[in-house]
Amino acid sequence: MQAIEFETQLKDGVIQLPLSYQHWQEGQQVKVIVLADENPVSLDAPTNKNINRHAGKITLSQDPLAFQEGIRDEWS
């Protein structure tokens, strides 16, 4: 028997396979074993705060679009 291992999140009782495994053993019967962390991190945990808390904390020396155009021009 072959085995693969990956981590994912359940959504509405569905396990999403990574793209690299979506056709692995297609059409074959497989055995699924689900393991869950005993102390899962909640999506509401302080470590998963909204990214907007960083808004306005970085001061830029150049317009971001001008910078992007400049680095693109150096490759042409």
Residue keyed to tokens 């509401």: 44
The pTM of the full predicted model, rounded to 2 decimals, is: 0.42
pLDDT per residue over 30-40, tens digit each? Answer: 888 888 888 76
In this prediction, residue 60 has a pLDDT band, given cuts at 50, 70 and 90, of confident
Q: Report CA 66 to chain centroid distance, whole Å.
A: 29
User: What does the CA dihedral 27, 29, 35, 40 come to, rounded to 10 degrees?
Assistant: 30
Q: What is the C-alpha separation between 55 and 57, in angstroms, rounded?
A: 6
- Percentage of the residues of the chain whose pLDDT score is greater than 70: 84
Contact 45/39 with Cβ under 8 angstroms?
A: no
Q: What is the pLDDT of residue 46?
A: 62
